[in-house]
C-alpha cells in the first residue's frame, strides 16, 4: 500500500511539473506578459513583394519626388499588411557610389522613440514601473523635481535638451568628441552641472530628445540590462525584426552599417558619428523599411503589448495643433472624425524619416532618407493615392478644414 501511495504522489508531482512547464506566461493584474514565451511573431509572408505588381501610381510619385525634390532613400507602402510598393532609390554612401538596397539599415533617429515608448509600456504592464513615478526614484541625483515617466513620454517634463547642453560642454572643455558617451554618463553630467530647464513640469508640450534619453536610462536601470540588450530581447526578437539593432558610439568605434547620413540637402556634407551618437532611447535604433512594417504588424497583433495598452499610448496627451495633431506615449497623433493616424518623424545627423500607421484603413507608409532636404514635406499626393488623410500640419486650418494653400 505504501508503495502504491508513493507511486501516486510521484505521478501527481510529475503532472504538476509538466503543467507548470507547459503553462502560458504569467500575467499581472494589468494583463501584460511577465515573460516572453520564446516564440517569435510569425512574419511569414509579410515581406513578400513582386515589383511587377507594384502600384504604378506610387512608383511614378516616388520617381518624381526623387527627380524634382531630391528624395534619396527607401520607401515601403502596405495595405492590410501586404506590401503594394517598395523601392530603394539612390545612394547609401555617395562618396563610395554605393547604391541603397531594400534591406539597408538606417539610423532611425526619433522614430526610435516609438520603440522606446513600447518598451516603457511593457515595463508598466509587468508592474516594474508606474507612469506617475518620479525620475528621482531611479536616479536620486536627478536635478529636476516633479518629472514623471508620464511627462517624459508626452514631452511635458520641461527639461532642457541634453544634445545642446552636452555639445556646448564638450566644446568648451575640449573633450574627446569621437568616443560616444553612455546614457549613465549623460545622466551623471546632468546631475553634476544641473543645466537650467526650459520650464516647470507639465506646463506645456515641448518636444526634445532629453525625455526619451532619460526613458532609455530608466529601461537600463529597471531591467538591469543595457538598452540594446533589452530592446533585442523584448522588442526585436519577439516581433521578428531580424534586421534591427541598437548601435551606440559608446560601444562601437564605427557603427556597423553602410548607409551614411548627408546633411544640408547636398552630398558634400556626409555626417560622421560622434559622442552624441552614444546616448540611446531618443535615437540609436537602426532598422529597415521591412522591419518597420513587421513592427506595425506585431503591435497590431498584440505581440508586444495588450491592445488596451496600445490604445492608451495612442491617446492624444497634449492640446491639439491645427485641430488634429498631438502626441501620445511615444507616438505623434493625427485625429479627425473617423480617422486616426499614429506616426513619428525622425531627423538626426543626416537622416530624415517619416513612419505612418493609418489605424482605420490599415495603411503603413515608411520613408527612410539619408539626404536631409524638404522632400518629405511634399507627400500630399502620396497620401491621396493610398487613401489616407494628409498628415501635414499646414494642410489644415485651426477648425480642421483643409487649407487652401
pLDDT digits (tens, 9 = 90+) for 142-199: 999 999 999 999 999 999 999 999 999 999 999 988 899 999 999 999 999 999 999 9
Which residue from 331, 299, 280 is spatially nearest to 155, judged by alpha carbons?
331
Q: Is the pLDDT of residue 12 over 50?
A: no
Beta bridge partners of 106: 287
- Interatomic CA distance for residues 24 and 290, integer angstroms: 30
Which residue range is the domain that position 317 belongs to? 33-395
Q: With contact defined as beta carbons under 8 Å apart, do 306 and 31 qualify? A: yes
Q: Is the pLDDT of residue 405 over 50?
A: no
pLDDT at 403: 64
Encode pLDDT of 81-114 as tens digits.
999 999 999 999 999 999 999 999 999 999 999 9
Give 404 or 358, the one with higher predicted confidence: 358
Tell me the pLDDT band of 63, cut-offs 50, 70 and 90.
Answer: very high
For 177-181, 229-233, 324-328, which range has the lowest pLDDT when averaged over its residues?
177-181
In this structure, is residue 10 part of a structural domain? no
Encode pLDDT of 195-224 as tens digits.
999 999 999 999 999 999 999 999 999 999
pLDDT at 5: 39
In this structure, is residue 271 part of a structural domain? yes
In this structure, is residue 162 part of a structural domain? yes
Q: What 3-state DSSP class applies to 333? A: strand
C-alpha distances in Å from residue 279, one per residue of 168, 179, 193: 16, 11, 17
- Interatomic CA distance for residues 129 and 316, integer angstroms: 22
Which residue from 321, 217, 233, 270 is spatially nearest to 33, judged by alpha carbons?
233
% of the chain with per-residue pLDDT over 70: 89
In this structure, is residue 130 part of a structural domain? yes
Q: Is the pLDDT of residue 11 over 80?
A: no
- Interatomic CA distance for residues 297 and 278, integer angstroms: 29
In this structure, is residue 206 part of a structural domain? yes
Q: Is the pLDDT of residue 29 over 80?
A: no
The CATH number for 174's domain is 3.40.710.10
In this structure, is residue 158 part of a structural domain? yes
Instruction: Record the pTM.
Output: 0.90
In this structure, is residue 79 part of a structural domain? yes
Q: What is the DSSP string of 193-232?
A: H-PPPSS-TTSS----THHHHHHHHHHHHHHSS-HHHHHI
Tell me the pLDDT band of 1, cut-offs 50, 70 and 90.
Answer: very low
For 17-31, 43-57, 339-353, which range has the lowest pLDDT when averaged over its residues?
17-31
- What sign does the dihedral 287-293-296-298 (CA atoms) show? negative
Q: Is the pLDDT of residue 3 over 60?
A: no
Grid cell locating 100: 541603397
Beta bridge partners of 88: 74
Encode pLDDT of 236-279 as tens digits.
999 999 999 999 999 999 999 999 999 989 999 899 999 999 99
pLDDT at 38: 63
In this structure, is residue 386 part of a structural domain? yes
DSSP code at position 137: G
Average pLDDT for the chain: 91
Q: What is the DSSP string of 249-292?
A: TTT-SS-S-S---B-TTSTT-B----GGGS--SSS-EEE-HHHH
Instruction: Provide the domain count of the chain.
Output: 1
Amino acid at each position: 500500500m505504501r508503495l502504491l501511495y508513493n507511486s501516486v504522489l510521484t505521478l501527481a508531482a510529475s503532472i504538476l511539473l509538466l503543467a507548470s512547464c507547459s503553462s502560458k506566461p504569467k500575467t499581472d493584474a494589468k494583463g501584460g506578459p511577465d515573460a516572453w514565451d520564446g516564440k517569435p511573431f510569425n512574419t511569414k509572408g509579410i515581406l513578400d513583394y513582386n515589383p511587377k505588381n507594384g502600384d504604378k501610381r506610387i512608383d511614378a510619385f516616388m520617381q518624381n519626388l526623387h527627380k524634382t525634390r531630391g528624395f534619396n532613400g527607401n520607401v515601403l507602402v502596405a495595405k492590410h499588411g501586404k506590401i503594394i510598393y517598395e523601392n530603394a532609390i539612390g545612394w547609401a554612401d555617395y562618396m563610395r557610389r554605393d547604391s541603397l538596397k531594400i534591406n539597408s539599415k538606417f539610423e532611425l533617429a526619433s522614430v526610435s522613440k516609438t520603440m522606446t515608448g513600447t518598451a516603457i509600456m511593457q515595463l508598466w504592464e509587468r508592474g516594474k514601473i508606474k507612469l506617475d513615478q518620479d525620475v528621482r526614484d531611479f536616479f536620486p541625483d536627478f536635478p529636476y523635481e516633479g518629472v514623471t515617466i508620464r511627462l517624459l513620454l508626452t514631452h511635458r517634463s520641461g527639461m532642457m535638451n541634453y544634445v545642446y547642453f552636452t555639445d556646448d560642454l564638450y566644446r568648451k572643455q575640449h573633450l574627446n568628441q569621437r568616443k560616444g558617451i553612455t546614457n549613465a554618463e549623460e545622466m551623471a553630467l546632468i546631475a553634476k552641472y544641473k543645466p537650467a530647464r526650459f520650464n516647470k513640469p507639465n506646463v506645456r508640450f515641448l518636444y526634445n530628445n532629453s525625455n526619451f534619453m532619460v526613458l532609455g536610462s530608466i529601461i537600463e536601470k529597471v531591467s538591469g540590462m543595457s538598452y540594446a540588450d533589452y530592446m533585442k530581447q523584448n522588442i526585436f526578437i519577439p516581433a521578428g525584426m531580424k534586421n534591427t539593432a541598437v548601435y551606440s558610439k559608446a560601444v562601437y568605434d564605427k557603427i556597423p552599417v553602410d548607409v551614411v547620413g548627408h546633411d544640408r540637402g547636398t552630398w558634400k556634407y556626409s555626417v560622421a558619428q560622434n559622442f552624441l551618437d552614444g546616448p540611446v532611447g531618443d535615437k540609436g535604433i537602426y532598422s529597415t523599411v521591412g522591419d518597420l512594417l513587421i513592427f506595425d504588424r506585431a503591435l497590431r497583433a498584440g505581440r508586444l503589448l495588450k491592445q488596451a495598452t496600445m490604445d492608451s499610448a495612442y491617446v492624444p496627451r497634449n492640446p491639439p495643433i491645427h485641430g488634429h495633431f498631438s502626441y501620445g506615449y511615444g507616438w505623434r497623433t493625427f485625429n479627425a472624425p473617423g480617422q486616426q493616424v499614429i506616426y513619428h518623424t525622425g531627423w538626426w545627423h543626416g537622416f530624415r524619416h517619416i513612419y505612418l500607421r493609418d489605424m482605420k484603413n490599415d495603411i503603413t507608409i515608411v520613408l527612410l532618407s539619408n539626404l536631409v532636404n524638404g522632400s518629405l514635406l511634399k507627400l500630399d499626393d502620396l497620401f491621396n493615392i493610398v487613401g489616407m488623410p494628409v498628415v501635414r500640419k499646414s494642410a489644415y486650418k485651426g477648425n480642421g478644414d483643409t487649407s487652401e494653400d
